[in-house]
Structure 1
């Protein structure tokens, strides 16, 4: 399978043209390999099947990675024209079982597979030309347009692996074997596991922004820990070793499962791992496109809850405390086997990047020597290894503006880190510093090893919002009022309700941290809050789910005041059920976001990449006599909107000053009557002694 292997390009180099060629080859390889994954589906009809109810059908994933390129390139103003606005809406947002995920089939009219193939071909041509023609300086930095291209490539590398998992969950009659994904052909008795010593060491996690390989936001920053000596299992847990747990009634014995694990057993009715098949009283193994005799010496594929249950079982059986390794303990193993960061060093010595097989292989096939001379196997590759560490930010964590919600929604203590990569991992996925996490019940190409350790679990991150921008908006919407200026979110909702004749359904567009959505629900039967970033809407989700929000209000320098507001204090406990939140692009909303009596666009239009498009189409979302409420301070800036897209704040070719309100009247007059104008003040606290005092113009428009 090594004909599909290609290394990620470094960010540095001496020749720009050589670097372009390196990137375009990496892009083409990634694009081709991704499409090869979908050749495992038996027919085009299967593209409309779901591997499980909580996921989209396969057609979504086929279109998603291509639309990702276009949506990010538009967001970062690298291109200004869409390829297909409908595709770039319905294929935009994936599923991680967040409250804002929309898997309702009624809300989607999926296109034909051939139409998506044609779309992918168009995107491929666009991206290829950009790679060869974008301005480029070496080294490539995070503010470079080429960084966004690399982001799209690595995003597709992720979906190569996750799509294979989804296809493997399909019924056998829906998938077929493809030559490029031939599985390992050998297996024998599993080796008996044993524990080896790992020396104490100082671990420093995180990398600097000068690192020469692409990275996701969560990889940057610093975390340090003194890791005491511990013991680690020599091998990953094999199917044979896990079989003992299954046959000893491990899935039936509730003492081995925590609360989340018991809920998983109740909902899934699981009696054994998801990729095991029980036929004629014999356990067999589900590979990608076939069921084979159980390969006892291959690593077991389990979710984190099953791995944790096994550790409790083994602890009781052996009289020792077995747990999953922490992120820092895994790094201690990694460093004491002297694995280098570049994949070229270890892919010939590990089962990853499709280099050897398109499946797992025996747990004793790829070994490494520790500094003390002992052998440990599959430090990288074969299957991912679940850890006991939730996804948490390092000190100095910052989001990247092109993908500001790649990691932030997973800082919820519900996403466990997976470490070490699998046979299907490639690109950034196999790097030393890569950090990926999934919900504990998710199936992946993941197994585990266990450790015997006295190292303490890392303390939980506190309940207070760690994202500085989100915290600032929480203070703005839920915090104190200043200088006698009323709460802006409450005041906007009050005015919107005043002018709304019908109060069945409202859309709070650009809802930010969602205060106005809840305020509208006091009068409307249903309210939908939509924002471009999940970072913001998760505040409302947490308020509904946890019953409170907590945030850090900045005082000065690094000093903050922690604040907590409950749903009872806000008076929303009886209306929260009427509010839902969705991630969306105001210039390219999904078709199902319609039939509103009110659309409230708060401080939004001067932040859109195409405000005219938004205004020309928003009437389609409103019922007869519906109300459109727009507020904006008209702070046009090129960082948000290219100047040629501004609606005001400039002098036109004839020498006339163009004001935003005049443009609003011109654009909206065909479908709306202007019924009211007023100013609304707001104050945003930056520190205890620094505030933004702004006046937003509010215009109320009634649909004709």
Structure 2
């Protein structure tokens, strides 16, 4: 029985088109907000009981209770930053449900919140929290004057950000619920899966020629719909003639890879992909169900669960409307003449004219596999696109033949055709605004659909929007001209690390602008989404297609720099275009930057920087009568100033985004010393002790190290406590300074002060935001010596909350 008590509004099974931000009304915005809020909650009615909310469907993700409450938390956080909301709803919840899990690999240690002794609130409390947030936002929309158009510098952009973020999590939650044990879910009312077939089985997936051309993609800044920062900017490539498959690769096609031993042959897989396959012990795509007890990806107390058990076959979903009523293991409308390209011994068997050939009888194509959809296990719909991760897609292409691969981002934009027209003409150039888009998105169906269900575009390609996301070969990165938005500074930039693949086109579960022609989404290559792929190849003699790969080394806290392979097999007809990560903060994760920070914070070229700055802050705190209990330093680097502050303050938190610097700071906390084999730059006048080519730095013996906590953060989260002193001294090295000072007023105690040190940013720029909540106590020049011993002058501003 569906859990209707999780609803704070109406039950809903489909989404709605996004808003034109030049002409929408308050009633339009309210309806759009309510619809997304309803739809997200409605997914959770498919959990059988409250106990299911506390289970981890994926060992790299949190229990479902987190995702139920998370989107409400983000609404509050963003509206607070934008100044549209001035009081929080429930700070404890807005801390607990703020941050998910960003796993660095498929074998990460489970987060402590996944189970064990961690106490999540009762479902009733989470429902009440969502209800309170809904009511606050509804009131906000009704009471706040609307200024059109809603652009990125308009406070209403935060409202749209919250709605579109909710829509992203509609898709996220649908994937996670799909990974839950089938015994823990139930099909909600009126949930409609797509037909298994159109009546004609897809036995061939021909490759279609696309003539070479120049292609430009990226969202214009003035396009009148909401956009995520990663969509803006522009890239232009000259792409040679290529071929791409008419359809996404189907379950039927992928079966032959499975039957040919594709999951047992390492030669088809990248090194990273094979390591993942071995760790997961994968034998087939994760949503395929067999009877062999395959290892599941569930976490915590259900980690031993297997989706692949014989009993799941006895409870297979059947529905005459989708051609599953004959009960003999094959779709009612299945083709009689067979399936796609009978590969033998894992080799490609004679691709002629770009088509898949070599037929089998349907019953030979239909072994003991079923498909897990979100709430049911059904007989395999062979004409639906296969859902896989990047590694599986890449392995399939290698198995198909040495010249085959996935599309590139540029090629994907080319196969979309030209029927939509110029984006400068307005929202009608984006299919998400069409009343009848002829595509499977916005939960038209609660599942994928046959790859031939909707008509082809003008170039003859099906499903270039919706049905399933499509993996492409490129790394996820910002486009030229990329800028981070101050309300969601870290939305995408932490993922520009060469470890995230790019997906395009949206899926059946994508709603709002998530299916936009401009939508770009990045996930780790082992990640499962409602995503598939299509096969492509470069034609001989026509040049190579450009594929973007991030060549910036990224340092991982506690792990160092991971290997980054920027090569592709020469046979696949791709030319790597190495590009620096558009996350500029990654560029500071260098050995040279670490050496400079050590020299600045621990050298003594005539002045000890760390002690002088700490003394300055303590002096100001005493002068203004502030308690000396808690301090937060935003920009702690290698911890030099933080350790000095720990001589006076009882609780000290150091925050930085730089993994190399934090590794040094944490080592100093553990051992009291940090040894670095790279000498400080020779032109530095501030050299720590150097012996045998090794730099050694240490912290004062009188520092009580148990007072210190170091955190790697790319923003100021709610878990940062209110403190008597907040020192913000790294605005000159962050990408988006405004994102760091907007929350200062929330983390300073009533009797505390905020100290901002910057060479580039003074009171005029800060005052535009800080003066709303703070009084400026003073501004003065702050002289110091940099890491090379050069005299510099920064501006120090001291702020106190208005009471």
Q: Give the TM interval when normalised to the shorter protein.
A: 0.7 to 0.9
Is the aligned partner of 1:245 residue 2:257?
Answer: yes
CA distance in 2, matches of 1:344, 1:202: 26
Give the CA deviation at 1:193: 1.2
Partner SS, residue 227 of structure 2: coil
The Cα offsets for residues 150-188 of structure 1, whole Å up to 9 and x where unpaired, read as: 000000000000100000000011111013432123336
Choose 345-354 or 120-129, whichever is displaced more.
345-354
Distance 2:616 2:438 in 1: 66
Aligned to 1:138: 148
Gaps of 5+ in 2: 1-10, 292-309, 311-366, 422-428, 539-543, 554-579, 619-628, 667-674, 677-692, 699-707, 731-739
Q: Is 1:285 the equivalent of 2:378?
A: no
2:405 to 323, 343, 357: 323
Match of 2:442 among 336, 340, 353: 353
Aligned to 2:90: 84
Residues 588-627 of structure 1: per-residue CA shift (max 9 Å, x gap):
427xx89xxx998433799464648643699xxxxxxxxx
Q: Deviations over 1:177-223 (max 9, x none)?
A: 01343212333633311100011111111122111111011111111
Measured on the aligned residues, the alpha-carbon RMSD in Å equals: 4.4
Report the equivalent of 2:294: none
Higher deviation after alignment, 602-611 or 249-258: 602-611
Which deviations, in whole Å up to 9, do the C-alpha atoms of 1:93-115 show, x marking residues without a partner?
Answer: 12221599993127853211111
**TM-score of the two chains, using structure 2 as the length reference:** 0.67
Q: Secondary structure at the match of 2:401?
A: helix
How far residue 117 of structure 1 moved from its aligned partner, in angstroms, is: 1.1
- Supply the distance in 2 between the matched residues of 1:388 and 1:159 (Cα, whole angstroms): 25
Q: Check conservation: 1:218, 1:435, Cα contact below 8 A.
A: yes
Matches within 5 A, 1:503-542: 509-512=632-635, 514-516=637-639, 529-530=654-655, 536-537=657-658, 540=661
**Aligned-partner Cα distance in 2 for 1:111–1:438:** 29
Aligned runs of 1:110-129 on 2, under 5 Å? 110-129=120-139
Write out aligned runs for 1:186-585 (5 A): 186-187=196-197, 189-279=201-291, 282-316=368-402, 321-336=403-418, 338=420, 340-345=429-434, 347-355=436-444, 357-371=445-459, 375-453=460-538, 454-463=544-553, 466-467=582-583, 478=597, 488=609, 509-512=632-635, 514-516=637-639, 529-530=654-655, 536-537=657-658, 540=661, 581-583=711-713
Counterpart position of 2:182: 172
What CA distance in whole angstroms lies between the structure 2 residues aligned with 1:241 and 1:210? 42
Using the TM superposition, name which of 63-72 and 632-641 deviates more: 632-641
In structure 2, do the counterparts of structure 1 residues 292 and 427 end up closer, same or farther at CA, with 3 Å as the change threshold? same
* Whole-angstrom CA distance in 2 between matches of 1:256 and 1:363: 25
Establish whether residue 73 from structure 1 lines up as the match of residue 73 from structure 2: no
Matched with 2:795 is 694
Deviation at 1:268, TM superposition (A): 0.9
In the alignment, the residues of structure 2 paired with residue 572 and residue 184 of structure 1 have an alpha-carbon distance, to the nearest angstrom, of 64
SS of alignment partner, residue 349 of structure 1? coil
Of 35, 41, 44, the residue aligned with 2:50 is 44
Cα gap change, 1:109/1:684 in structure 2, threshold over 3 Å: closer, same or farther?
Answer: farther
- 8 Å contact from structure 1 (residues 154, 427) kept in 2: yes
Partner of 1:376, secondary structure, is coil
Instruction: Select 2:171's aligned residue among 150, 161, 175.
Output: 161
For 1:695 and 1:288, locate their aligned partners in 2 and report how far apart those are by CA, in whole Å: 55
Aligned length: 606
Cα distance change of structure 1 residues 680 and 11 upon mapping to structure 2, 3 Å threshold? same
Match of 1:663 in 2: none
Checking the alignment, whether the CA contact within 8 Å between 1:518 and 1:579 is kept in structure 2 is no
Aligned partners of 1:609 and 1:641 also within 8 Å:
no
Whether the 8 Å CA contact 1:513–1:537 is kept in 2: the answer is no
Distance 1:289 1:490, change over 3 A: farther
- Cα deviation, 1:106-163, whole Å, max 9, x if unaligned, reads 7853211111111111111211222233233221111111101000000000000010
Would the alpha carbon gap of residues 586 and 486 (structure 1) be closer, same or farther in structure 2, given more than 3 Å must change? farther
